[in-house]
Amino acid sequence: MIGVPSEPFVPAPAAYPPSTENLPVRRSAVFSSSVDGLESHHALPANASGQHQRRRKTEDDSLRLIDDLTNRPMDPLFTDARLTHHPTSALELWATRLIVFVICVAVGFAGCLFVQRLHTDPRKAVRQSWSSELQDLNKQVDQLTADVSDLQSQVAKRSKQLGDITQSDQLTEDNMVNGLVPVTGEGITLTIANPIAADDSGDGTYHRENSGQQIRLVTDADLQMMVSLLWKAGAEAISINGYRLGVQTSIRTAGQTIMVGVNPVQSPYAIEAIGNRNDLADAVGSDRQPQLYESFKEAGIYPQVSKSASITLEAAAASNLSYARKDE
């Protein structure tokens, strides 16, 4: 479609007259009435030279629409809007930019907060709080464990000291009972002698004034019984005629002589015992041993018991033991 210039088109009056450069230029289409009768510039077929050219209709609504689109490309209202445009000052321009920038920053900040809130797990704070509490409790447990260890060490140390003291006391008590150390304390003295009818010749043998009468004498069994009663009553140390009874001390008879260990003893026999004097006196008294005292009375033997506030017993003589050895 080839456009041909024509007379200027005068549009309908507008609210504001358009400028010269915006005035539409009316161009007629090749099939309009203004170009009717112009020679064709197109090549015609050889057999078409004599044919009658068919004229096209120019009074068609579609052709008028094409003319309007061609000659009036800009809408009049749009032209009016351009006429009302005023130039913007630099202050307004920078103010607008500043406002837009602030709005963008605010929107971006709000978006960051929103995204952060979306990605924030409310249970995370609870877990962190519980984790902190758990760490504190673990520290307390460690501290308490350390305190328990210290207390256990102190208890072990005190127990060891107490054990040493107890062991020392036990050792002292054993040495005291075995007669290895001197002992001083309250106790009793039990004196028992042969009857007056018996005559002591001084050589350890006894002669009877009346050979026809049997006289009972104090035997080693009597001394053993008295010593056993004293040990049973809680005696801590015992001696007979000054000879301390120890772990290796025996009371026996050799012929007609009573031996305490390897030492002979003669009547009267003084049995000294350290301990609670009341308990010891009751243990060997006539109230506790009525049958024994009745037999003593029939033989003319009268044991005497005296209580003492302080008695000292020397240590027993330690004997050296010899063991058989194989000759090499």
Ordered by start, the domain boundaries in the chain are 1-6+13-36+56-74, 92-119, 134-174, 178-313
Helix ranges (H only) for 191-271 are: 220-232
* pLDDT for the residue 37: 52
Model pLDDT for residues 43-74, shown as the tens digit of each residue: 445 554 544 444 444 456 677 777 777 776 66
Residue with the two structure tokens 């609670």: 276
Model pLDDT for residues 235-250, shown as the tens digit of each residue: 888 999 989 888 778 8
* pLDDT for the residue 205: 45
Q: Rounded mean pLDDT of the chain?
A: 75
Rg of the Cα atoms in the chain = 73
User: Is domain 178-313 annotated with CATH 3.30.70.1880?
Assistant: yes
* pLDDT for the residue 246: 81
Model pLDDT for residues 164-184, shown as the tens digit of each residue: 665 566 777 777 767 778 888
The larger pLDDT score, comparing residue 124 to residue 251, is at: 251
DSSP string, 102-155: HHHHHHHHHHHHHHHHHH--HHHHHHHHHHHHHHHHHHHHHHHHHHHHHHHHHH
* pLDDT for the residue 256: 84
Q: How far apart are CA 292 and CA 17, in angstroms?
A: 163
Q: Is the dihedral of CA 235, 239, 244, 250 positive or negative?
A: negative
Strands 237-240 vs 243-244: parallel, antiparallel or unpaired: antiparallel
* pLDDT for the residue 75: 65
pLDDT for residue 108 is more than 70: yes
The larger pLDDT score, comparing residue 12 to residue 284, is at: 284
* pLDDT for the residue 102: 92
Number of H helices, E strands in the chain: 7, 12
Helix, strand and coil in the chain, % to nearest 5: 45, 15, 40
> What integer is the mean pLDDT of 259-268?
89
Residue with the two structure tokens 């057999």: 47
* pLDDT for the residue 210: 45
* pLDDT for the residue 38: 47
* pLDDT for the residue 24: 59
Name the pLDDT band for 271 (thresholds 50, 70, 90).
very high
Q: Is the dihedral of CA 102, 107, 108, 109 positive or negative?
A: positive
In the 8-state DSSP scheme, what is residue 48? Answer: G
Looking at the chain, the whole-number percentage of residues with pLDDT higher than 70 is 63
Lowest mean pLDDT among 15-24, 69-78, 106-115, 266-275: 15-24
> What integer is the mean pLDDT of 195-213?
52
Residue with the two structure tokens 């003589």: 317
